[in-house]
Copies of this chain bind each other. A is one copy, B any other.
Amino acid sequence: MSAQQAQEKVDNGVNVQALLGAREALTEAPAAARFTWRATCNWINGTHSETSVRGFYGLGEEQSHRTEFHFDTDHPEIFASEDHGATPVEVVLAGLAGCLTAGIAAVAQNRNIQLRSVKATLEGGMDLQGILGIDSDVRNGFDGIKVHYEIDADASKEDIAALVAQSQKRSAVYDIITNPTDVTVTVA
């Protein structure tokens, strides 16, 4: 079986040709690579709020998701809240998981590796003495995040590890979390 035949048989649902085409097009026209992602959040009650995502800017013009996506965030009942949604820090874990996992699928497709299943378990430790203002030496956020992958794929253990490493190297959310990202907050 030729490499070409093997490549045709691998299908992780990622259109790598389109991505390679996009890379080529954006190399020629880098201004189109400028994206702006947006979200709108409305406070509901207590610690419960709802965030919506639909429009974004990229490829030189306004774009839109097919539908609007909604995210409820809240605090759990042990914090005297009503638990109408995941906590905001769990939502960040979901963003990290989704980013690394999409990367694994895309890199696998590009490397001609058929994925059968990919599962990630994530955990982030946090000492609440930070956000409660008990100890100013304790940070508010996670003291670290652990992501563990179980991957079933037509590839060696080494090739699977290399997939995951390449996904980290190109992950937007991994970069946002591991490196400082400026956040400017203003009030009308």
- Residue on B with the closest CB to A119? B42
Size of the A side of the interface (Cβ < 8 Å), in residues, is: 128
Copies held by the complex:
2
Majority secondary structure, A binding face: mixed
Q: Is the CB of A184 within 8 A of B147?
A: yes
Near B by CB (< 8 A), chain A positions 113-168 give: 115, 117-135, 139-151, 157, 160-161, 164-165, 168
**Which B residues are CB-close (under 8 A) to A40?**
119-122
Let me know if B115 and A102 touch, CB within 8 A.
no
Q: For chain A residues 38-70, which have a beta carbon within 8 Å of chain B?
A: 38-43, 45-49, 51, 53, 56, 58-59, 63, 65-67, 69
* Residue numbers in B under 8 Å from A160 (CB-CB): 187
Chain B nearest CB, measured from A120 CB (Å): 4
Which of B14, B19, B41, B171 sits near A122, CB closer than 8 Å?
B41
Which of chain B's residues has its CB closest to A122's CB? Answer: B39
Take A63-B76, A119-B42, A186-B148 as given contacts and tell me if A142 and B91 are in contact as well, using a CB distance cutoff of 8 Å: no
Bound complex: CA A161 to CA B117 (Å): 48
Contact at A168–B185, with CB atoms within 8 Å?
yes
B95 touches A182 (CB 8 A): no
List chain B residues, Cβ under 8 A from A164: 185, 187
The 7 lowest CB-CB distance pairs between A and B, nearest first, are A73-B98, A13-B46, A18-B80, A41-B97, A141-B175, A88-B99, A91-B95
A sample of 18 cross-chain residue pairs with beta-carbon separation below 8 angstroms, ordered by A number, consists of A26-B128, A27-B129, A27-B134, A30-B127, A34-B128, A36-B126, A39-B123, A41-B94, A41-B101, A42-B119, A47-B105, A49-B97, A71-B86, A74-B98, A89-B95, A91-B94, A130-B172, A144-B181
